[in-house]
Amino acid sequence: MTMAKTEGKNTWQKYQDELDRAMAGRMELRAALNEAVSGDQMRLHLQPIVDLSTADVVGVEALVRWEHPRRGLLGPNEFIELSEESGAVIAIGGWVLREALRLFTGWQRTRQGNRLGYVSVNVSARQLRTPGFADQVRAVLSETGARPEWLLLEIIESPVLHNADLVWRELGELRSIGVRIAIDDFGTGYASLSCLSQMPVDVLKIDKSFIDDILHHPQQMVLVETIVSVAHTLDLTVVAEGIELVEHRDALVAMGCHYGQGYLFSEPMTPEDFLSAPRGTS
| Predicted confidence (pLDDT) per residue in 154-213, tens digit | 998 765 556 677 788 889 999 999 999 999 877 665 456 667 777 889 999 999 999 999
pLDDT > 50? residue 64: yes
What value does the mean pLDDT take over residues 129-153?
96
CA dist 209 and 240 (Å) reads 10
Beta bridge partners of 68: 72
Burial class of residue 109 (count of CB atoms within 10 Å of its CB; 0-12, 13-18, 19+): exposed
pLDDT classification of 16: cutoffs 50, 70, 90: low
For the chain, give every domain's residue range: 1-33, 42-276
- pLDDT for 281 equals 41
Encoded amino acid at 175, one letter: R
More confident residue, 278 or 31: 31
pLDDT at 113: 75
Judging by beta carbons within 10 Å of its beta carbon (0-12, 13-18, 19+), is residue 176 exposed, middle or buried?
exposed
Question: How many C-beta atoms lie closer than 10 Å to residue 229's C-beta?
Answer: 14
Q: Are 225 and 205 in contact (CB under 8 A)?
A: no
Q: How far apart are CA 194 and CA 103, in angstroms?
A: 37
Across the chain, mean pLDDT equals: 87
What is the 3 state secondary structure string of the chain?
A: CHHHHHHCCCCCCCCCHHHHHHHHHHHHHHHHHCCCCCCCCEEEEEEEEEECCCCCEEEEEEEEEEEECCCEEECHHHCHHHHHHHCHHHHHHHHHHHHHHHHHHHHCCCCCCCCCCEEEEEECHHHHCCCCHHHHHHHHHHHHCCCHHHEEEEECHHHHHHCHHHHHHHHHHHHHCCCEEEEEEECCCCCCHHHHHHCCCCEEEECHHHHHCCCCCHHHHHHHHHHHHHHHHCCCEEEECCCCCHHHHHHHHHCCCCEECCCCCCCCECHHHHHHCCCCCC
42-276 topology per CATH: TIM Barrel (3.20.20)
| Bridge-based pairing state of the strands 203-206 and 237-240 | parallel
Beta bridge partners of 122: 154
Average confidence (pLDDT) over 9-23: 63
What is the value of pTM for the model shown?
A: 0.87
